[in-house]
Structure 1
Amino acid sequence: MTSLAATAPIPLPAIPHPLRWLIALTAGIVSALILAALVRHVATGSPTLSARSIWLPIHLGAAIPIVPLGAWVLVRRKGDRLHRLLGRIWAALMMVVALSSFGLVGMLGHLGPIHILSLAVTVGIPRAVWLARAGQIRAHLRGMVIIYGSAVAAALFAFVPGRVLGAWLFG
């Protein structure tokens, strides 16, 4: 015998509470470092972007908002229209960052180890979007968390001496 009662919707997976705090904390720290580097760059007149290729302003313009925006998308409610809109914006920014990185000259020459991350992002973002559309939400969430964590790690490496944000922040 079948029941005519409506079944409850399957709840979307959420980021565990301790991981939410970690995401928020790292996003705050990295965002504060980026803001401090930008303020110091403007205040001290350190080398400008005009002396470098067009790829650097494109890369930085897309990279700067990905840390706070990605954190917001990960810690807020999932599955609603705002989540999908902000997720699409974040994914597009990540693709711009990844693709523009191939136009940058790294510390080790043109291509360096960081470009492995760029390749992973150019494959991972479309895959994670496909997973969400295919209804594989847990796999989508796992992929996006990994990509976000990689982006935060890459942002922290941008403060290494010899890199642009490092030079802006530390002189």
Structure 2
Amino acid sequence: MTAPLALLVAHASTAVLCLGLGAYALLRRRKGDTVHRLVGWSWVAGMTFVATSSFAIRDLRDGRFSVLHVLSLVTLTALVLGVRAARRHDLRAHRGNMIGSYSGLAGAFVGAVAVPDRLVPSFVVTQPAGAAAALAALALVWLVVVGGAHLWVRGDRARAVRRRPARRAGAAQPVGSPVP
């Protein structure tokens, strides 16, 4: 596999993975907990790779930048602003930037899949077994990231329970009284 093709495969694979991670983070009922943060940071890292790697992919206009590269700049800006807003507890700005970034990713995915002569549709048609294997591998990575986040939280809860002092049976101690 040539280096440009390897970059394109890594770019597309990470983008598809980010579609799943972003959907999970956005559709999940609980927000702001450890699972949301771990999945979110994984999504931000993946999106950063997707956006920055796009600058090395210039096949659409014979080696020149295209409108998609402007969208990559917008994505990088929205990611920075979204993380910054989360750190400042500005949930409205965080939500807007992250939903905007995810919407851009979904739009780019539709554009990449809808054009028949692009690499993704031609790969699915010419090598369906390879495409199915790639999709299974991405699903496995998604499960590792999301499942790992849930296991991490479960481990934190178990450690927190073990750290709590044991309560003794009997009446509650008054505030300030020494423990026998």
The answer, yes or no, to whether TM exceeds 0.5 is yes
Segments of 4+ moved more than 6 angstroms: none
Q: Paired residue for 2:92?
A: 138
The DSSP-based 3-state class of the residue aligned with 2:32 is coil
Contact 2:15 2:46 in 1 (8 A): yes
Structure 1 residue corresponding to 2:56, chosen from 88, 93, 103: 103
Query: Is the contact made by 1:73 and 1:83 (CA closer than 8 Å) also made in structure 2?
Result: yes
The aligned counterpart of 1:60 is 12
- 1:104-127 CA-to-partner distances (Å, cap 9, x unmatched) read 123222311111111111111011
Aligned ranges 1:149-164 → 2 under 5 Å: 149-159=103-113, 160-164=115-119
Q: How far apart are residue 81 of structure 1 and its match?
A: 0.4
Taking the aligned partners of 2:77 and 2:108, their CA distance within structure 1 comes to 17
Q: TM-score by structure 1 length?
A: 0.67
Q: State how far apart, in whole Å, the 2-side matches of 1:168 and 1:78 are.
A: 37
**Aligned Cα RMSD in Å?**
1.4
CA distance in structure 1 between the partners assigned to 2:73 and 2:59 by the alignment: 15
Could you tell me whether the CA contact under 8 Å between 2:78 and 2:100 is conserved in 1? no
CA distance in 2, matches of 1:52, 1:85: 31
Q: TM-score when scaled to structure 2?
A: 0.64
More helix by share: 2
**1:87 partner letter:** G
Q: Where does the alignment leave 5 or more consecutive residues of structure 2 unmatched?
A: 127-180
Superposition map of 1:76-91 within 5 A: 76=28, 77-91=30-44
Q: What letter is aligned with 2:80?
A: P
Partner of 1:3: none
Partners of 2:19 and 2:36 lie apart in 1 by: 16
Are 2:124 and 1:169 equivalent residues in the alignment?
yes
Match of 1:148 in 2: 102
Q: Which runs of 5+ in 1 are unaligned?
A: 1-49
Answer 1 or 2: higher relative contact order, Cα 8 Å, separation at least 6. 1
